Chain A
């Protein structure tokens, strides 16, 4: 009961965290030396038009007044309208966020499914050539900038080997074929029974997900290896071995089971990092996701969009932290 009470206390702090996030983002949005009015009226507009628009946007009011107005809008679910896309920010986020979500889930699956076994294997074979090789791969994956990795992947798998399609989320022949339900193209294509579009979406997703996944795999493998080394040197492992348990049981049930709590935190934070928007990957692969939307909005001083997207990223972080917290309580018997 006690662990759920402490979880509830953590959950109760969420509104305070979110309020802090809204306040900080709002202030940063107002402090940056970009004039949001210019984004609307353009550089050529006469000064009277600039001033009139400034008043219409409420930018002539004091910062506290502007903040109260903004929070009031948020309370009604109104994130405002984006200057860049002309849509409501909520509608934009509903379109761009699923693209990032789909890419992130695929990347996390690749990173997790490759990174965890590699990390475990490297720890079990510590000091062997394969451990060294995995460490080199991890180090390279972590230290090569992701845009370089993305360009190399395009050059090799798209331009040279022709195994993968080019940038974009959907092939031009399938564009507009799938009705949007969840925004996750694979899910929507499956729901609509459009299996050709499903295959196309999977092909388009493969390369960016692989690049993003491999880059994050390096981190997950490194962390898994470090956790496992610590765990394998524990007395309970020696005890398990002394009891005559098989190597598999010792490694996977005892040693690996003991690192699960920390690994879940690593995976949750990696996922949060991916959702935040893999800006460079999205740019190179022309992936219409939240990272690209946020960057474009920032460069265009589209402050409603910046604030809305930042809020969504913040919410995601908070939600994933809560999830990690919850899993911690479920997986760790000591919290019972």
Chain B
């Protein structure tokens, strides 16, 4: 018979028996670093295909590139696998000298043939990031002739049209330019896939500090030190655990089950920041948040209305109260840390000025408008703040929440009125953002290059022309000055209300050091991490 005593006894004894039988373990081993972050965005670990945040970050630790902008000053480019390089007088041919003595994880030496194979592969596979390389005029048909390796130490790249020499170098520093071990990859090729299926499944063939031992989608990534790396990591193994929930990350960090928590909320970061047992590491990221005003809408097409919206938003109020520590106010299309960035912040909340501009546009009583935004944190709260800000100026905003891809799908079809989205740069050259925010050569549906300017139905011939000219400018200083001026005019005329730039904050125990966070995700490095 079930009695009260039996019920209470069972309830009391259960946990005691459990803890005796299955004692919980804590603290990660000393030579293993464990990181908690969401990894369900990884689609592929093929460098010529991967185009996601975590995919890029992991690959950046497993592969080397020919060149990279330096951490300290991104306007300076240094050789990694390339020892030196030279551009011809006509600006069309760049010859790279490959650094001798570098080896892949397989033990094969890194040669110019591997670098040429990598670029051929990017163009032939033609996956999402291929445009970064293809924009130099390479096609499936001509790439073998234009990217050549006359000997093991020399790589020659011949581009279609002369442009800024740094533009090619910055593009080669993107994840798509990570150099593969041709022999290892081709040994695993199936049909004409150039080893795509093998790499996509989580295998790596690079010369970087790490190699992927195992990738289990939405579970974990285990990386081992590459014994052949020129600069071996300080730890033997690194495990990245899929921890999408920030609270679970925080508890794991506090319990010692994870060493580094990567995506804690601002509140959690504020609490940890006061605790001397933890260190917070911040780094501006290349992601900027903006509101696009579709110029197909008659009211938004008025310059005064665009200005009014820019003056109605409380930028600092949003970043201080909603996104302290994770976003900073930023108002130019180039993110902080990029060559040529404009750090001026000309706009601040000025309701009277916004109202006056609306009156000047013939809208003294404001108007009604819809704002599409993504639902993930903190954008719901930011959208609500913007709704309240614009209401003060007389603009009645209806919020339309959706998933990110849903909002992107809508903006690509130019069906939005206002849309709040974020943009991450694909490579370190200013053109990455200048092109998308400024260039629109054909505002019709026939346009194949659907830049953010096109998606907002905005065609500014002057800025389009200047963005294309800046791309061709060979003098580095003059080029930087051109981008600075473009950003000023863009702030004045464009239908983009640029709001803020993302800041990544990683939290770790005081005893864990050496993580390096990068402006682009593929520049965050694990090699220096160690535990005392």
A residues sitting closer than 8 Å to B (CB atoms) are 32-35, 38-39, 41-49, 83-87, 92, 117-118, 120-121, 130, 151, 154-155, 158-159, 162-169, 171-173, 175-176, 199, 202-203, 206, 247-248, 283-286, 288, 292-293, 296, 299-301
Contact B18 A163 (CB under 8 A): yes
Contact B131 A35 (CB under 8 A): no
Contact B239 A172 (CB under 8 A): yes
Question: Given the interface contacts A172-B241, A248-B1, does A46 sit within 8 Å of B251 by beta carbon?
Answer: no
CB contacts under 8 Å to A, within B429-467, are: 447-450
Contact A120 B2 (CB under 8 A): yes
B residues sitting closer than 8 Å to A (CB atoms) are 1-2, 4, 7, 15, 18-19, 22, 24-26, 28-29, 32, 34, 40, 43-44, 51, 126, 128-129, 131, 200-201, 214, 216-220, 222, 239, 241-245, 247-248, 251-252, 254-255, 257-258, 402-406, 408-410, 412, 426, 447-450
- B435 CB to closest chain A CB (Å) equals 10
**What 6 A-B pairs have minimum CB-CB distances, sorted nearest first?**
A42-B128, A85-B217, A35-B409, A47-B448, A166-B257, A159-B251
Contact B255 A288 (CB under 8 A): no
Contact B403 A286 (CB under 8 A): no
Residues in chain B near residue A87, CB distance under 8 A: 217
Q: List 30 A-B contacts (CB under 8 A).
A: A33-B409, A34-B403, A38-B405, A38-B408, A38-B409, A43-B412, A46-B131, A47-B448, A48-B448, A83-B43, A86-B217, A87-B217, A92-B217, A151-B247, A154-B247, A159-B251, A162-B26, A163-B15, A163-B24, A165-B257, A168-B219, A172-B241, A175-B214, A203-B24, A284-B247, A286-B219, A286-B248, A288-B219, A299-B404, A301-B405
Question: Given the interface contacts A34-B409, A166-B255, A299-B403, does A285 sit within 8 Å of B22 by beta carbon?
Answer: no
Question: Given the interface contacts A154-B247, A168-B241, A175-B222, does A41 sit within 8 Å of B405 by beta carbon?
Answer: no
Residues in chain A near residue B4, CB distance under 8 A: 130
Question: Given the interface contacts A46-B449, A206-B18, A301-B405, does A35 sit within 8 Å of B412 by beta carbon?
Answer: yes
Docked Cα-Cα span, A86 to B218, in Å, equals: 12
Question: Given the interface contacts A151-B247, A202-B22, A292-B218, does A42 sit within 8 Å of B51 by beta carbon?
Answer: yes
Docked Cα-Cα span, A130 to B405, in Å, equals: 52
Residues in chain B near residue A175, CB distance under 8 A: 214, 220, 222, 239
Question: Given the interface contacts A47-B448, A83-B43, A163-B15, does A286 sit within 8 Å of B245 by beta carbon?
Answer: yes
Contact A39 B251 (CB under 8 A): no
- A174 CB to closest chain B CB (Å) equals 10
Contact B2 A165 (CB under 8 A): no
Residues in chain B near residue A169, CB distance under 8 A: 219
Docked Cα-Cα span, A34 to B405, in Å, equals: 6
Contact A86 B405 (CB under 8 A): no
- B62 CB to closest chain A CB (Å) equals 17
Residues in chain A near residue B126, CB distance under 8 A: 49
- A171 CB to closest chain B CB (Å) equals 7
Contact A172 B28 (CB under 8 A): yes
Question: Given the interface contacts A35-B409, A39-B405, A286-B243, does A172 sit within 8 Å of B32 by beta carbon?
Answer: yes
Docked Cα-Cα span, A288 to B243, in Å, equals: 11
Residues in chain B near residue A32, CB distance under 8 A: 406
Residue in chain A with minimal CB distance to B16: A163
Residues in chain A near residue B252, CB distance under 8 A: 166-167
- A115 CB to closest chain B CB (Å) equals 13
Contact B402 A33 (CB under 8 A): yes
Residue in chain B with minimal CB distance to A99: B219
What 15 new A-B contacts, CB under 8 Å, besides A44-B131, A167-B245? Answer: A42-B128, A44-B51, A44-B128, A47-B447, A86-B200, A151-B247, A163-B15, A166-B258, A175-B220, A206-B18, A247-B1, A286-B219, A286-B242, A299-B404, A300-B405
Contact A167 B24 (CB under 8 A): no
Docked Cα-Cα span, A35 to B19, in Å, equals: 49
Docked Cα-Cα span, A172 to B25, in Å, equals: 11
Residues in chain B near residue A292, CB distance under 8 A: 40, 218
Residues in chain A near residue B404, CB distance under 8 A: 299
Contact A158 B251 (CB under 8 A): yes
Contact A167 B248 (CB under 8 A): yes
- A46 CB to closest chain B CB (Å) equals 5
Docked Cα-Cα span, A159 to B222, in Å, equals: 25
Contact A296 B218 (CB under 8 A): yes
Q: Which of B24, B406, B450 is in CB contact (< 8 Å) with A165?
A: B24
Residues in chain B near residue A247, CB distance under 8 A: 1
Docked Cα-Cα span, A118 to B8, in Å, equals: 12
Residue in chain A with minimal CB distance to B220: A175
Residue in chain B with minimal CB distance to A154: B251
Q: Which of B129, B214, B244, B410 is in CB contact (< 8 Å) with A286?
A: B244
Docked Cα-Cα span, A46 to B450, in Å, equals: 7
Docked Cα-Cα span, A163 to B18, in Å, equals: 8
Contact B243 A167 (CB under 8 A): yes
Docked Cα-Cα span, A47 to B239, in Å, equals: 38
Contact A43 B408 (CB under 8 A): yes
Residue in chain A with minimal CB distance to B250: A159
Residue in chain B with minimal CB distance to A39: B405
Residue in chain B with minimal CB distance to A121: B2
Residues in chain B near residue A172, CB distance under 8 A: 28, 32, 34, 220, 239, 241
Contact A84 B403 (CB under 8 A): no
Residues in chain B near residue A285, CB distance under 8 A: 248
Question: Given the interface contacts A35-B409, A38-B408, A117-B2, does A166 sit within 8 Å of B448 by beta carbon?
Answer: no
- A327 CB to closest chain B CB (Å) equals 24
Residues in chain A near residue B1, CB distance under 8 A: 247-248
- B213 CB to closest chain A CB (Å) equals 9
Residues in chain A near residue B32, CB distance under 8 A: 172
Q: Which of B129, B248, B447, B448 is in CB contact (< 8 Å) with A154?
A: B248
Residues in chain B near residue A47, CB distance under 8 A: 447-450
Contact A33 B406 (CB under 8 A): yes
Contact A84 B43 (CB under 8 A): yes
Docked Cα-Cα span, A335 to B239, in Å, equals: 57
Q: Which of A120, A121, A162 is in CB contact (< 8 Å) with B24?
A: A162
Residues in chain B near residue A48, CB distance under 8 A: 448
- A169 CB to closest chain B CB (Å) equals 7
- A201 CB to closest chain B CB (Å) equals 10
Question: Given the interface contacts A154-B248, A175-B220, A296-B218, does A44 sit within 8 Å of B426 by beta carbon?
Answer: yes
